[in-house]
Amino acid sequence: MPSPSKRDQIVDVALDLFYQGGFNATGVDKIALEAGVTKKTLYAHFKSKDELILAVLRRRDEIFRNQFMRNVERLGKNPRQRLEAIFDTLDEWFNGKKFCGCMFINASAEFSDQGNPCHLVCAEHKRLMQEYFRDLAEKAGAQDPDSLSEELMFLAEGATVQAHVCGDKRAGQKAKRMARLFIDSAINLAGA
């Protein structure tokens, strides 16, 4: 396996530092030091810190969504079970050693202007996650996959905030119990 490029190395280090320390609080000096590069090298790959942040958010989106979907597929054997497995996957994430909340919720709080490119990347991540939920709902036979995906997204986002802000390690399982009511209702209505 080839070693990562300097650019990838900088993004990977910045991802960890931003996730644990925040975007505004983490300086490029620290990123360069941790990545083992000079600031000149960092700025040769990224014109600004904002450009680096965008690269980090895009990388996190790709990694997170792929891992999330793989875990849902692993935990749920059929479309109906996969809807519930959303919350089992969240539960595993919340109880992992490196859980520091949702990078996209955190970033959107730091870059709150809805026109900010960082905020737009966060909104796109959430849209793509809900699109995945909608696909699962449709495959499970939900009468209204759009509504069910919205309901599950609200539960997932609320559980994520509860786990991060309040330290509630059972937030995923609590949300799963509520999700079952929405799932049962949506699928039973479809079969009626």
Which domains occur in the chain, in start order? Answer: 60-191 (1.10.357.10)
Q: How many Å separate Cα 163 from the centre of its chain?
A: 14
For the CA atoms of 69, 98, 165, 153, the dihedral, rounded to the nearest 10 degrees, stands at 0
Residue 48, sorted as left (phi over 0), alpha (psi -120 to 50) or beta, turns out to be: beta
Q: What is the mean pLDDT of the chain?
A: 95
Spatial CB neighbours of 35, under 8 Å, sequence gap ≥ 6: 6, 9, 10, 13, 14, 42
Q: What is the mean pLDDT of residues 147-159?
A: 98
What is the three-class DSSP state of 33?
Answer: helix
- In which band, very low, low, confident or very high, does the pLDDT at 188 lie, cut at 50, 70 and 90? confident
Residue 22, sorted as left (phi over 0), alpha (psi -120 to 50) or beta, turns out to be: left
Q: Is the pLDDT of residue 3 over 80?
A: no
The pLDDT value given to residue 62: 97
The model's pLDDT over 73-91, given as tens digits with 9 standing for 90+, comes to 999 999 999 999 999 999 9
Instruction: For the chain, give the percent of residues with pLDDT over 70.
Output: 96
- Interatomic CA distance for residues 128 and 130, integer angstroms: 5
The pLDDT value given to residue 88: 98
Q: What is the mean pLDDT of residues 146-174?
A: 97
Nearest CA to 62 out of 121, 20, 142, 133 is that of: 121
The pLDDT value given to residue 190: 57
Nearest CA to 83 out of 183, 191, 174 is that of: 183
Q: Is the pLDDT of residue 38 over 50?
A: yes
Q: What is the mean pLDDT of residues 20-31?
A: 96
* 5/69: higher pLDDT: 69
Nearest CA to 85 out of 66, 65, 71 is that of: 71
The model's pLDDT over 94-126, given as tens digits with 9 standing for 90+, comes to 999 999 999 999 999 999 999 999 999 999 999
- In which band, very low, low, confident or very high, does the pLDDT at 192 lie, cut at 50, 70 and 90? very low
